[in-house]
Amino acid sequence: MSSLTLRPANTAPRRINLFGIVPNQVKDLPLSEIFRLPIRIEERAAVVGDCFEVVDGDRATIVLDGDLSNCDYVGGGLDGGRILVTGSVGDFLADRMRDGVIEVRGSADRFACSGLRGGLVHVAGDCGEYAAAAAPGAQRGMNGGFLVVNGNCDQWLATRMRRGTVIVHGNVAAACASRMIAGTLALCGQVDFPLAANMARGSILLLGHEGVCTSPAGFTEPELTELSYLRMLINDIAPYLPVRICKERIPAVVFRAMGDRVNRGLGEIIWLFNTRAAKAETDC
């Protein structure tokens, strides 16, 4: 049996709020009720049937078929089950999601996973600004779960992130991990500075870095450190890492810097592969 499928009925560029259109909400509803599920179109009350054609199917998975880049809060309130988006989505992907899986084959706009609390979100494309970061007015960003981004991430990734793991296969723009509270970032591409300004705790694994390690401002100089927990962490995130990195052997000793010491932070930046200390490079 195919999955319950929602297709945008028209392409009018109105912002649609899809919070609550998730498998755990629709699993016991007849198709007629699903048509009448409340959504919001630019702050006006509406129902699913106003904007989507609905094809009945297995409720464990909802397929959102098409371009949903005008749809915000996709996967909002998900607490089990799976959502597959064949195109791109708008802002606030996976807000207040606690469990389950969201797979976005396109890209996600701003504040993706800002309100994520658990489960797995996989974005095949790029993420806009403030992914996993605190939304306006919020004290904390992402508070649990996994965000995996195959593409790139724009500025302010993981700002005030509290908990959980973010893995980015591509490049990351500036201001990543600003005021990061805790959690884990595994960044496999290039990372623009400034990085981790005012970071309090948490770990940033720089997996794609080669050559000289340079600490961001406020961090200690990179030092060789043996961390027994690292193997556990890498094994945990290995299923979501690019193949080229999974093939690398995890070194027993890595370069590590701590900060942001400006605010007495205990965060850590870890360079995992093919790196040299800045001091050693200078000496050469």
Partner 1 sequence: MQINGVEVEDTFAEAFPMTATRLIITAADRFWARRAAEAMTGFATSVIGCGCEAGIEAEVDANQTPDGRPGIAVLVFSMSGKELEKQVVRRVGQCVLTCPSTSVFAGMDSEKRVALGSHLRYFGDSFQTSKIIGGRRYWRVPVMDGEFVAEESTGRRDAVGGGNFLVLSQSLDGALKACESAMDAMRQVPNVIMPFPGGVARSGSKVGSKYKALGASTNDAFCPTLRPITKSLLPQGVAAALEVVIDGLTEADVARAMRVGIQAACALGDRYGLKRITGGNYGGKLGKFHFHLHQVLA
Residues that bind partner 1 (CB under 8 A): 163, 184, 201, 203, 225-229, 231-233, 235-236, 266
Give the whole-angstrom CA distance, residue 221 versus residue 223: 6
How far apart are CB 3 and partner 1 at their closest, in Å? Answer: 27
156/271 with CB nearer partner 1: 271
Nearer to partner 1, 232 or 284 (CB): 232
Closest distance to partner 1 from the beta carbon of 70 (Å):
35
Nearest to partner 1 of 31, 266 (CB atom): 266
CB of 202 to partner 1, least distance (A): 8
Which residue, 32 or 228, has its beta carbon nearer to partner 1?
Answer: 228
Q: How far is the CB of 193 from partner 1 (least distance, A)?
A: 24
CA distance 171 to 163: 21
Cβ neighbors of 59 (< 8 A, separation 6 or more) are 3, 4, 23, 26, 27, 28, 29, 81
* Residue 282: HSE in the Cβ half-sphere, 13 Å Cα cutoff: 5
Q: Give whichever of 62 and 200 is closer to partner 1, judged by the CB atom.
A: 200
- Helix ranges (H only) for the chain are 23-26, 31-35, 48-51, 229-237, 243-246, 278-283
Least Å distance, CB 10 to partner 1, is 42
Which CA distances in Å does 117 have to 14, 23, 127, 196? Answer: 28, 17, 18, 22
- Backbone phi and psi for residue 245, each to the nearest 5 degrees, phi listed first: -80, -35
